[in-house]
Amino acid sequence: MSTPHRLRVYPPLVDIVGRGQVWPRMAAKYGVENAIPPWKSSLDGICDALDQASGTTCAPGPVERRDEEDRLAATTYADLPYPENQLVALAHTLLDRGVIDERELAARMAAVRSRLEA
């Protein structure tokens, strides 16, 4: 039997959701016709790498990762479309497990934003 999860709130993820910069809106704003976000292949690669590392790290295994993704996408990140909800749910899961650090995530997000706005 599964134990209920106590949901943590991560300010960098709250910031992502609050910005409302989902791919359909951003693609329309910049005249991009590709319906698939350019970062989706990287997200798929990260998920594949986590699946391969299953059992050797504190990262979730494939079934557990997808279950957590489904749970978070249907609740906490229900206002985001796919694949944005998949991306943020994965970040949430990795933060919960200590695979990534909240401060480091925020710093990397700021660095990416700075490059994009330069």
pLDDT, one tens digit per residue, over 40-96 is 999 999 999 998 888 777 878 899 999 999 999 999 999 999 999 999 999 999 999
Specify the 3-state DSSP secondary structure of 90.
Answer: helix
- What is the spatial distance between Cα 91 and Cα 47, in angstroms, rounded to a whole number? 11
Number of domains in the chain: 1
Q: What angle do CA 36, 77, 55 make, to 5 degrees?
A: 85
Establish if 113 belongs to a structural domain: yes
Question: Does 17 reside within a domain?
Answer: no
Domain holding 101, by residue range, is 41-117
Average of per-residue pLDDT across 12-19: 92
- Whether 26 maps to a domain, the answer reads no
Question: Can you give the pTM of this predicted structure?
Answer: 0.86
Task: Specify if 1 maps to a domain.
Answer: no
